[in-house]
Chains A and B, each alone.
Chain A
Amino acid sequence: MTDFLPTLLTLASEPVAAQVGPVGFAALKEVSLSAPLAAWLIPGLPMLGAVLAVLMAIGGVKSKLPAWTTVLCLAGSFAVTLWLYLQMRDAGAAYTTVKLFDWISFDYLPGKAFVANFSLYIDQLTCLWMLFVTGLAACIALYASEYMSHDVGPGYCRFFFAFCLFVFSMACLVMGDNLLLLYLGWEGVGLCSYLLIGYFYAKPSAVAAAKKAFIINRIGDLGLALGIMLTFVHFGTIQFAELLPKVEQYVALATSGNLAAVPASVQWIAVLFTLAAFGKSAQLPLYVWLPDAMEGPTPVSALIHAATMVTAGVYLVARTMPLFQCGAVTVPPDAWVLPGLVVPALDIVVWGGALTALLAATIGMAQFDIKRIMAYSTVSQLGFMFVGVGLASSYAGAFHVFTHAFFKATLFLSCGAVMHGFGGQLDLRKLSGVMWMKGWLVVGLAMLVGCLNLAGFPFTAGFFSKDVILAEAFSNPHQRVVAWILLVTAGLTAYYTFRVFFRVFLGPKSFEPGDEAHGHNDAHGHDDRAHDGAGHGHGAKGEHGAKGEHGAKGEHGAGEKGAHGAHDQAFQPHAPGWAINLVLAVLAIGSLVAAYAYPTKWVKGLVEKSSAAAVDLTGSAAHAPATLLGMDPHEIMYYVSAGVGAVGILVAFFLHYLGRKTAATSRADAINLGALQRGAQHKWYVDEFYDATVRVPLKVLAHVLHFLDKVLVDGLVNLAGLLPRGLGMSLRPSQGGELHGYALAMACGIAVLALVALFSLV
């Protein structure tokens, strides 16, 4: 063991972006797989799972069958991904495309065509991403089979349908060979996110959250659509295999310092993609949907909003890294404000990520709902990932994505288990000492592993991945401020993570049941979780099967024997069953094992052999990298971040563990930072700000337009309807029924004719 540490440290001292030879797409060669169409099973099996779920919903299946089919399909998809990875691993720096069918092939001019086929583009980055996407999806589906068990019936089928459709869309997004298929997947995951957040459609808050998520995603999607159109207009193609080589010429311009010479239409593509990535991955200013998305069931939060969908933005940046390297916002030299300013797109990404990380961490420190805290930590960690890719190091970003997926899923699933067991209780002022309760040890340990990763405790996966990003940031002489922001955020992260852990899982045992303890306020109104007083059907009774351990079986599908009696006394939390515990254990161990990816440089090898490898813009050969405390950041980063993390954990320990006698109070209550604290608790009023600046003007405009519509447009139409009637009414008096009146009219007519004849003759 003693020689392990020096090995780690010497490996770490190697700067990340030391590349020789061609990089990026130029370094890739095309290969073909042994059974190419099998790669289509990766999206195909989830689609099959979705279709099966729909059929089961139509067929009225009331068991957990949809869950098992989903788990099987996703496990199959993961197996195929493993096979694919093994195939590609031997190929080295290579890519391959596998076409299923011609989707759009539109020749609009001789020699020019718009081609977007249903084909897959597979390189090492794709394999890396799909491994954790499918793996986590399979695990979380297993978790959800128990978590959603109170909802068996059409709701269950609906859940797994959306779940499978989500995995299919994510596969299209990641594995798509062209930007249009990526866009299809992008929209698909947005749709499934909407469906799943709004799963409890009878709850107004869930419906509002679903709408908010979808609408804010749409703003980003506008950026993506415009970017794709711009890409096609300039390059004439949107397929990665053809597009990326064409961008190389501009990348050469950019890396030689001449970013302003890149044509504006190319520069703007990356900026638009940044908007899209920020919308999907919940960065400033479009992050407000993610905390609200916690209204969805916890498996959804874990899969979609922690591990997979929100990383789609990072994936977009990594995949189109050449475009980002030559992207910028250029102010024309004759503008009257900031003339001639060139802001590289990667700088926007870096700053957006850093500021978001800090903001979300401060908000997370003051929240009381543990799922919300985890949501804000996701936003914050995504900020880290964006800083990673923004520093032109796709490796840093991708590695953090990979490790974060595991430990964040673990964290969310643990919180979910707590919520499930305590009747929907998520307030950390009302829960304490959960780890010491019977049957909760696995959850507690999984949570501990997750928290250690998130806080960056030495030798965990999160520690390594965060350190790569921090080291990259500190090495870059232009991004000192960003680097310090990230370091401070790392400290805050450690604090709020362990605040949750020390409050909820350690300390004196006490709990208050949540709102769902006496029946659900969701669409189905089952109250399987309601428990009687002593001696209820939860312990060593035969109806739960041979195991009979206290609290081991959480499955209520096998018939609750009418436990709807007196609820108010002795609500017993029910500890998670085998499915939840198994998944938590797997994920926790996985997040520990993922740490091993660092010294073996597994992720680094994958990313740098893909198209996402970027030429180092700082040119570590051109000028010396910056130093931290007088030493090379890559060597010293461990100690610095470990120190910062330790400070955060110790502060949390002091404030939230020592001397805490009850769940509701701790030493932290003595600290009153006044406006800062209130601001953080109210999420810095960002939602209220958006309400005032966007929603209210839009509402006023809507009312004005409604008024105009009613008065002008409807008025015009009604007027057109009134005209014939008016005409008729005005002519009506001539039909008086009087014979002599008619006669007089005729006589007048004759007189008029006579006069006309007379005057025309004269």
Chain B
Amino acid sequence: MIDTTFGAALTLGQFTLGQFTLGQGDLPAPMSGITLYHYLFTASTMFVLGLIGFLTRRNLIVMFLSTELMFQAAGIALIAFGRFHMNQTGDAFVIFVLTVAAAEAALALALIVLLFRRKETLDGQAWASMKG
């Protein structure tokens, strides 16, 4: 998972910075046939994996980790679209999303700490008594 993220960031960096260094205004030639769909496929795979992780894991921190993965997948998709449309709208939005994700991480971890203190466990099932 970390590899994929890193690989995605690498790809991302190659595209954006490579554009400036080469000084070309038009779309560079695809490297070995990588199209938009590859990125979207990557992003959706990451999203689904994150989703499955969120649904199936019982550990609160791992559940949160999965949500972070979903965030990153959305970020990749946004960047890919931004590159596709040749503007920075996607990049700008990703900056915001990452910021919010970070803030939310702080909050969520604080809440998990409090929840842990109540039940001495990180199991999500411990809170099933709150049913309507």
Within 8 Å of chain B (Cβ to Cβ): is A732? Answer: yes
B128 lies within 8 A of A736 (CB): yes
A739 lies within 8 A of B51 (CB): no
| Complex CA–CA separation, A732 to B131 (angstroms) | 9
Within 8 Å of chain A (Cβ to Cβ): is B20? Answer: no
A737 lies within 8 A of B55 (CB): no
Within 8 Å of chain A (Cβ to Cβ): is B54? Answer: yes
- Chain A residues with CB under 8 A of B22: none
- Chain B residues with CB under 8 A of A743: 54-55, 63
A740 lies within 8 A of B131 (CB): no
Within 8 Å of chain A (Cβ to Cβ): is B14? Answer: no
| Complex CA–CA separation, A735 to B129 (angstroms) | 11
A738 lies within 8 A of B128 (CB): yes
Complex: chain B residue closest to A750, CB-CB = B51
A737 lies within 8 A of B130 (CB): yes
B51 lies within 8 A of A737 (CB): no
B51 lies within 8 A of A747 (CB): yes
- Chain A residues with CB under 8 A of B6: none
- Chain B residues with CB under 8 A of A735: 131-132
Q: Which of B114-130 contact A (CB under 8 A)?
A: 124-125, 127-130
Interface 1/0 per residue, A726-737 and B, CB below 8 Å: 000000100111
B124 lies within 8 A of A737 (CB): no
Complex: chain B residue closest to A735, CB-CB = B132
| Complex CA–CA separation, A744 to B63 (angstroms) | 13
Indicate the size class of the contact surface on chain A.
Answer: 10 to 19
- Chain A residues with CB under 8 A of B130: 737
A737 lies within 8 A of B129 (CB): yes
Q: Determine which of B56, B124, B131 lies in contact with A736 in the assembled complex, contact meaning CB atoms within 8 Å.
A: B131
B54 lies within 8 A of A737 (CB): no
What is the number of residues of chain B that contact chain A, defined by CB distance less than 8 Å? 14
Q: Determine which of B56, B58, B63, B128 lies in contact with A737 in the assembled complex, contact meaning CB atoms within 8 Å.
A: B128
- Chain A residues with CB under 8 A of B125: 738-740
Complex: chain A residue closest to B127, CB-CB = A739
Interface 1/0 per residue, A697-708 and B, CB below 8 Å: 000000000000
| Complex CA–CA separation, A744 to B58 (angstroms) | 13
| Complex CA–CA separation, A744 to B131 (angstroms) | 16
- Chain B residues with CB under 8 A of A736: 128, 131-132
Q: Which of B78-110 contact A (CB under 8 A)?
A: none
Give the distance to chain B from A685, nearest Cβ to Cβ, in Å: 69
Number of residue pairs A-B, CB distance < 8 angstroms: 32
- Chain B residues with CB under 8 A of A738: 125, 128, 131
| Complex CA–CA separation, A739 to B55 (angstroms) | 9
| Complex CA–CA separation, A735 to B127 (angstroms) | 13
- Chain A residues with CB under 8 A of B56: 740
| Complex CA–CA separation, A422 to B51 (angstroms) | 104
- Chain A residues with CB under 8 A of B127: 737, 739
| Complex CA–CA separation, A737 to B128 (angstroms) | 5
Interface 1/0 per residue, A82-124 and B, CB below 8 Å: 0000000000000000000000000000000000000000000
Interface 1/0 per residue, A554-575 and B, CB below 8 Å: 0000000000000000000000
Give the distance to chain A from B37, nearest Cβ to Cβ, in Å: 15
| Complex CA–CA separation, A708 to B124 (angstroms) | 54
- Chain A residues with CB under 8 A of B129: 737
Give the distance to chain B from A741, nearest Cβ to Cβ, in Å: 9
- Chain A residues with CB under 8 A of B63: 739, 743
Q: Determine which of A732, A739, A744, A747 lies in contact with B132 in the assembled complex, contact meaning CB atoms within 8 Å.
A: A732
| Complex CA–CA separation, A267 to B116 (angstroms) | 96
| Complex CA–CA separation, A735 to B51 (angstroms) | 21
Q: Determine which of B55, B58, B124, B131 lies in contact with A747 in the assembled complex, contact meaning CB atoms within 8 Å.
A: B55
B128 lies within 8 A of A744 (CB): no
Complex: chain B residue closest to A736, CB-CB = B131
Give the distance to chain A from B117, nearest Cβ to Cβ, in Å: 18
Which among A735, A740, A747 has the highest number of chain B CB atoms within 10 Å? A740
- Chain B residues with CB under 8 A of A737: 127-132
- Chain B residues with CB under 8 A of A740: 55-56, 58, 124-125
| Complex CA–CA separation, A735 to B128 (angstroms) | 10
- Chain A residues with CB under 8 A of B124: 739-740
Interface 1/0 per residue, A741-762 and B, CB below 8 Å: 0011001000000000000000
| Complex CA–CA separation, A732 to B63 (angstroms) | 25
Give the distance to chain A from B56, nearest Cβ to Cβ, in Å: 8
| Complex CA–CA separation, A743 to B54 (angstroms) | 8
Q: Which of A395-449 contact B (CB under 8 A)?
A: none
Give the distance to chain B from A733, nearest Cβ to Cβ, in Å: 9
- Chain A residues with CB under 8 A of B131: 735-738
| Complex CA–CA separation, A387 to B84 (angstroms) | 112
Give the distance to chain B from A289, nearest Cβ to Cβ, in Å: 65
Complex: chain B residue closest to A744, CB-CB = B55
Q: Which of B20-56 contact A (CB under 8 A)?
A: 51, 54-56
Which among B56, B58, B132 has the highest number of chain A CB atoms within 10 Å? B132
| Complex CA–CA separation, A706 to B51 (angstroms) | 60
| Complex CA–CA separation, A321 to B58 (angstroms) | 101
Give the distance to chain A from B124, nearest Cβ to Cβ, in Å: 4
Binding site for A on B (CB under 8 A): 51, 54-56, 58, 63, 124-125, 127-132
Nearest 6 pairs of A and B residues by beta carbon: A737-B131, A735-B132, A739-B124, A737-B130, A737-B128, A736-B131
5 contacts between A and B (CB under 8 A): A735-B131, A737-B127, A739-B128, A740-B58, A747-B54
Further pairs besides A735-B131, A737-B129, A737-B131: 5, Cβ < 8 Å: A732-B132, A737-B132, A739-B124, A740-B58, A743-B55
